[in-house]
């Protein structure tokens, strides 16, 4: 039976996630092009390092890039936001809290809170998840969470001090309360497990999701002897 676009959308067809592995010397990031084929539109999360790869992915999708979602303002997550916004004439979104602490600016930059909104056929549901930075944001699109440097399959992002670690604990609790067990997690980096793991698997295996109080979590997150290289943020 042939269904029209409205009927297909009503049944909850998931957006397509194109995983883009990009690098700059030893820094490896994951960018994500999220596509709604019904409205022929897309958004990209945290574009960095390889504009040719991103351009090819957008061209291959045959969609119109309508926006850029930034999880936080570290260089490896904002590197190509302005060039892409200029090229594709689209918006850039960042949390209002992150805008306060960031030097990043662009004519297309729009501050957002936790209210969901629609980008053509894509429903964007943001979660403010401070900890790694004061204004870190995760984005739920369909049944896919784009978690930046808040949650990795193997751990969580670095926290600069105990207050930030307390906030990270609360942010991870928020994520645990909001997600379905089959939600797929797409982090900004990976350390062995490929992006797109189901949350149930991460919940079972990620030690940072096992703590019952913020004091124990912070003590472990800030423990001595860690490798604080930006390339090993989960350790």
Predicted confidence at residue 27, as pLDDT, reads: 86
What ranges do the domains of the chain cover?
A: 14-224
Confidence check: pLDDT of 233 > 90 = no
Confidence check: pLDDT of 141 > 90 = yes
Identify the weakest region by mean pLDDT among 8-17, 72-81, 125-134.
8-17
Predicted confidence at residue 6, as pLDDT, reads: 36
CB 114 within 8 A of CB 128: yes
What is the distance between the alpha carbons of residues 35 and 18, in angstroms, rounded to a whole number? 8
Burial 154-182 (b: 16+ CB within 10 A, else e): bbbbbbeeeebbbbbbebbeebeeebeee
Q: What is the mean pLDDT of the chain?
A: 90
How far from chain centre, in Å, is Cα 121? 19
Confidence check: pLDDT of 7 > 90 = no
**In this predicted model, which residue has the larger pLDDT, 11 or 114?**
114
Q: Residue 13 — very low, low, confident or very high, per pLDDT cuts 50/70/90?
A: confident
What 174-177 contacts at long range (C-beta under 8 Å, 24+ apart), as own/partner pairs, is 174/127, 174/129, 175/127, 175/129, 175/138, 175/145, 175/147, 175/150, 175/151, 176/203, 176/209
Instruction: Tokens for 142, please give them.
Output: 């369909």
Predicted confidence at residue 26, as pLDDT, reads: 84
What is the distance between the alpha carbons of residues 221 and 235, in angstroms, rounded to a whole number? 9
Predicted confidence at residue 12, as pLDDT, reads: 56
- Percent of the chain past pLDDT 90, that is, above it, reads 83
Sign of CA dihedral 204, 142, 134, 87: positive
* Backbone angles phi and psi of 18, in degrees to 5: -100, 120
Q: Give the predicted TM-score (pTM) of the model.
A: 0.89
Query: What average pLDDT score do residues 120-126 get?
Result: 95
**In this predicted model, which residue has the larger pLDDT, 47 or 232?**
47
CB 44 within 8 A of CB 66: no
Confidence check: pLDDT of 48 > 90 = yes
pLDDT digits (tens, 9 = 90+) for 160-190: 999 999 999 999 999 999 999 999 999 999 8
**CATH code of the domain made up of 14-224:** 3.60.15.10
Predicted confidence at residue 63, as pLDDT, reads: 94
**In this predicted model, which residue has the larger pLDDT, 233 or 202?**
202
What is the distance between the alpha carbons of residues 178 and 203, in angstroms, rounded to a whole number? 13
């Amino acid at each position: 039976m042939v269904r029209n676009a409205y009927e297909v959308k009503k049944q909850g067809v998931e957006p397509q996630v194109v995983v883009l592995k990009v690098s700059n010397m030893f820094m490896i990031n994951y960018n994500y092009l999220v596509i709604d084929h019904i409205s022929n539109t897309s958004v990209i999360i945290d574009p960095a390092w390889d504009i040719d790869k991103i351009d090819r992915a957008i061209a291959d999708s045959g969609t119109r890039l309508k926006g850029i979602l930034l999880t936080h303002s570290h260089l490896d997550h904002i590197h190509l936001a302005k060039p892409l916004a200029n090229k594709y004439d689209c918006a850039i979104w960042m949390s209002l809290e992150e805008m306060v602490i960031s030097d990043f600016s662009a004519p297309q930059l729009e501050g957002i809170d936790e209210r969901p909104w629609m980008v053509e056929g894509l429903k964007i549901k943001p979660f403010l998840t401070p900890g790694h930075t004061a204004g870190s944001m995760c984005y739920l699109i369909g049944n896919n969470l784009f978690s930046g440097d808040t949650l990795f399959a193997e751990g969580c992002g670095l926290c600069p001090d105990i207050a930030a670690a307390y906030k990270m604990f609360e942010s991870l609790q928020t994520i645990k309360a909001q997600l379905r067990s089959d939600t797929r997690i797409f982090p900004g980096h990976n350390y062995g497990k490929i992006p797109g793991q189901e949350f149930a698997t991460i919940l079972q295996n990620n030690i940072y999701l096992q703590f019952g109080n913020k004091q124990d979590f912070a003590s472990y997150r800030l423990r001595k002897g860690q490798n604080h290289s930006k390339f090993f943020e989960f350790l």
